[in-house]
Amino acid sequence: MLQPTILNATLALAVMLGLITGLAWLIRRLGLIALLDRAGTPRRIAGRVSLALDKGRRLSIVEVEGWRFAVLTGGRSDQLLMLEAPARKESV
The structural domains of the chain, with segments of one domain joined by +, span 1-39, 42-92
Distance of CA 73 to the CA centre of its chain: 19
Q: Between the CA atoms of 21, 27, 33 and 35, what dihedral angle is there, to the nearest 10 degrees? A: -140
pLDDT tens by residue, 20-69: 999 999 988 887 776 666 556 666 777 888 999 998 899 999 888 878 89
pLDDT tens by residue, 7-28: 899 999 999 999 999 999 998 8
Asked if 82 contacts 68 with a C-beta cutoff of 8 angstroms, the reply is yes
Question: Which range among 18-22, 65-69, 74-78, 81-85 has the greatest average pLDDT?
Answer: 18-22
- Identify the pLDDT of residue 87: 65
